Structure 1
Amino acid sequence: MPADAPHSLPPTDADLAATPTFDFDDAAVAAFARDAVAGATDEVDRARRIFVAVREAVRYSPYTSNYDRSEFVASTALASSENWCVPKAILLTASARAVGIPARLGFADVRNHLSSERLTAMMGTDLFVYHGYSALFVDGAWRKTSPAFNAALCERFGTPALDFDGRTDALMHAYDGAGRRHMEYVTDHGTYNEMPYDEMLAAWAEHYDMDRLLAGPADDTTFDDAPAAG
């Protein structure tokens, strides 16, 4: 069930609970979160560290999923070497809860003005419907954070890696390092205490050719680790 906008209401017990999606009762997720905040001096520092840990632990790739419900689980995301925005936001939400930071899963439609040609062809648009983010309650306020793009990928695209200072939102950069339009937030769908799987797929079906989306391009190396060609 969707919660209200993340800046409007105080957190509840549900924002700290382990769930089938946010399974920080899993030993690996619990250990990951604990290790990520080791040495943190306060809540803000814990939030900064957990954000960077998730951003870097799983490399970003939009081609790693068949979108089965079982893939939208924090422990599954952690076990993957690469993943995309929603599973990474799920992992951040679960990890934050594990270290006592209230967290919710959020969704927004974003337009990626620098999307690769093959990714745009696969999706049929440069609009990413139900892009995932995580809303963390830190220092008395909700903050929206997007841990999707790891630092190496950002460097490849000439965009600064997104950092979270614990006090302001950390959403995708509107412009890249060369001043080109990058990510444009179009619609915010709010935040959730559990994964709205059916709602997300229904929204995708309205905007995408699902057969083409599930097939994916086999030859797009845009998001690989190798350096971009000069």
Structure 2
Amino acid sequence: MSGCCGPGPGNTDPTRYSAVFTPSFSRSITRRYERKGLRPVEQRIVDFLAGTGIEGASVLEIGGGVGEIQLELLKRGAGRTENLELSDAYESNAERLVERAGLGGRVSRRLGVDIAETPDAVGPADVVILHRVVCCYPDYVKLLGAAARHARRALVFSYPPRNLFHRAGFTAVNAFMRATGKTYRGYTHDPAAMVDVVRRHGLDPVYAHRGLAWHITGAVRAR
């Protein structure tokens, strides 16, 4: 998904993601990455995971967009990556980035797999990433629970701060989406509750970053 909006509870609109995460949105992300590399929040995710030891590791990214985090992890020693995406807008740009990096044999991309609804459709991975995704999903317990169960060694996720400024912003965006007939909704879930979900699945939160726009939680499998 690689954005921060999701369907309202019970929504079954098959176009809900592609209506917002469009080819122009994908091109913008791709051009920015090609010119400047990762954004600071994405670089922090890569650095955290690299610090846990990713040599030869398998990586599963849920809603990874064009896959720039995955490419950087492969360059840092990861073995292979798998991307799950619900919008088809990213595929052509993602393929181009993979080809330019010479990493085609180590990247797998799958469309239409919602890991929260069909967890058995996806195999486990050493590392699982959800960047700007939890705020797209109404049921964070279901989504993070499925992600945590798939993480053999580490899980990292980012989310917006749950303060008055962001909550007001999300309210305004959701009102606009309703007014324009889109079925997306954004969510500012309780950070402590999300961390509790991760803990309940045997992962120990060992890293936290509190940025103005995005917070990050990194957790490792308790041994």
TM-score, normalized by length of structure 2? 0.30
Greater fraction helix: 2
